[in-house]
Amino acid sequence: MEQSFRIAVIPGDGIGGEVIAAGQQVLEALARGSGGTCRFEWIEYPWGSAYYAGHGVMMDPKGLELLQDTDAIYFGAVGWENVPDHTSLWGLRLNITQNFDQWANIRPVKFLPGIQSPLRRADTADLGWIVVRENSEGEYAGLGGRNLAGRGPGNEVAVQTALFTEAGCERIIRFAFDLALDRTVPKVSSVTKSNAQQYGMVLWDEVFRRVAADYPGVETESILVDAMSAKFVLQPESLSVVVASNLFADILSDLGSALAGSLGLAASANLNPERRFPSMFEPVHGSAPDIAGRGISNPVGAIASGALMLDHLGLPGEARRLEQAIEAVTASGIRTRDVGGSAGTAEVTEAVIAALRATAAGGAG
């Protein structure tokens, strides 16, 4: 039986357009080779900083209504020099994640074959973990304000409040434990700074202990964020699932993807687990203005985000095939410059498509 999926595509800014086009080509090839299992209908929206230049807003004011009617959103990157970063981020990406209650942001840290990690122990240890980011509140709740500018230059006041609700902490922590149950090492590391942030993050720690009691088979640890950043480098083999607040997990997942070899490799999923709203899939990296438009951006993070999307759409077999194709390509030495190769975006994309064809021909997956 053929399944057809309506996917909203928002390439956004900078290399977002290049890597999302690469991901679409790969997913189209996969659909063609699926023996009629799946089909994608792409609905592209030109929202982003160029749209802002023409319309004064980052996305169509009716954009959320348009997106609501889709099965998933495939997103590139947001951020360009013509728009202040906080305006572009809140006007597009956070507008979608917040209003669609995509409260779980999953960011796997994957060590791919053939990619050199700056970590020496990556050569001998089997590394790989998942950062689970609370994606709806915490430090990115958008609460606060700027005021008292009337006091004159140098006297303005700004307040930025982090929001921690018991329900918000519980749902993301429980999500992390459920994820850990399916992993070879069932372990959850919780990250806070509760010694200094004595209200919200102490609440987080308390909820973590309470939820942990429901999962006796899962090993746990609670670690301060400074210690965890050291642990990412010094004891990465001890990590399985790492759950943290919005800001901390954002920073830690960038560190994780750098340790795995490049920001360009890392995938992410912004999930609304209840499926009241479409979920959104995007590479972890941003718009990378320094390399935009040169055809050299690494498409692996965007393509791997496509694999996370396939999982979410109920196509786990196709998702594994795509992940295996990515691994076959990195192992074969076809790599972009950020990971020590000389291939362009198109060459890596074509190689992934060829690897998919090879597995289809071989009957694998």
| Tokens found for residue 202 | 């102490």
Site map for ligand ATP, 53-82, x if CB under 6 A? --------------------------x---
91 counts as binding ligand ATP under rule CB under 6 A: no
Instruction: By CB under 6 A, tell whether 16 contacts ligand ATP.
Output: no
Select from 2-10, 99-107, 233-241, 290-298 the region that touches ligand ATP (CB under 6 A). Answer: 290-298
Residue with tokens 């498509």: 353
CB of residue 180 to ligand ATP, shortest distance in Å: 28
Residues constituting the chain: 365
Q: Using the rule CB under 6 A, which residue among 21, 72, 179, 288 binds ligand ATP?
A: 288
- Please pick, from the candidates 8, 10, 15, 207, the single residue that binds ligand ATP as defined by CB under 6 A: 15
Residue 110 CB, shortest distance to ligand ATP, in Å, is: 15
Sign of CA dihedral 50, 24, 61, 106: negative
Cβ proximity to ligand ATP: between 106 and 265 the closer is 265
Q: How far is the CB of 331 from ligand ATP (least distance, A)?
A: 19
Distances (CA, A) of 59 to 233, 314, 361: 39, 29, 42
Instruction: Return the range that interacts with ligand ATP (CB under 6 A); candidates 27-35, 103-111, 229-237, 282-290.
Output: 282-290
Q: Pick from 16, 236, 286, 306: which binds ligand ATP (CB under 6 A)?
A: 286
Q: Which residues contact 184 (CB under 8 A, 6 or more apart)?
A: 240
State yes or no: residue 338 binds ligand ATP (CB under 6 A).
Answer: yes
- How far apart, in whole angstroms, are the C-alpha atoms of residue 302 and residue 316? 17
CB of 193 to ligand ATP, least distance (A): 21
Q: Which stretch binds ligand ATP (CB under 6 A): 29-37, 57-65, 137-145, 279-287?
A: 279-287
DSSP string, 279-313: EEEEESS---TTTTTTT----HHHHHHHHHHHHHT
What token pair was written down for 226? 């400074």
* Binding of ligand ATP by 24 (CB under 6 A): no
Mask: binding to ligand ATP, 317-336, rule CB under 6 A, as x and -? Answer: -------------------x
* Amino acid in position 78: V
C-alpha span between 268 and 274 (Å, rounded): 18
264 binds ligand ATP, rule: CB under 6 A? yes
Distance of CA 125 to the CA centre of its chain: 24
283 beta partners: 267
Burial class (CB in 10 A: 0-12, 13-18, 19+), 222: middle
Q: For binding to ligand ATP (CB under 6 A), which residues are involved?
A: 15, 19, 79, 263-264, 285-291, 297-298, 301, 336, 338
